[in-house]
Amino acid sequence: MSAIPPELTALFDAADTAEIKARAHARAGDALELAVGWAGRVEKIDRDRALPWSDRTVWNEHDLAGALFLRDFLQDALDDLPPPIRRKLTPFVEASDERFRGYTVDDPAGRMGTVAEVELGGRAWWWRRVPDSGPIVEDLARYS
């Protein structure tokens, strides 16, 4: 996972950080790591929208699915935090969520469910959004 930016770590005292670490999931990481991971994935997908599909560095629909699974893990981690700690982390997560909403559109066809091989019923809003432009849109055209 990416390093936790100082402006984010500054929000938490030693007891908060210890509590966050104590609630970490063995495979997914802790809430701070997951929040930074989500922010990084949102940023990468956004940057990729300006690149051609032929660019070998761009992410595809499966990378988007991975980002959405990470967002699920982040939500679970947030829900597990004590409310005072959750309130400190929520604005950072909401900023990434808003950026994601800003360059995505509703996908009533539910293509990400097909890509990820999951049932979308009961899944969070992020599973029903796809980029409005870029290489991932070209990849998702195969699922229409």
Q: How many other CB atoms sit within 10 Å of the CB of residue 64? A: 25
- Please compute the mean of the pLDDT values over residues 64-82 and round it to a whole number: 97
- How far apart are the C-alpha atoms of 108 and 9, rounded to whole Å? 38
pLDDT over threshold 60, residue 1: no
Distance between CA atoms of 112 and 87, rounded to whole angstroms? 30
Q: What are the extents of the domains in the chain?
A: 6-143
- pLDDT above 60 for 87: yes
Tell me the mean pLDDT in the region 109-117: 97
CA–CA dist 125, 129 (Å, integer): 7
Q: What pLDDT score was predicted for residue 93?
A: 98
User: What's the whole-number mean pLDDT along residues 21-30?
Assistant: 90
One-letter amino acid for residue 124 of the chain: A
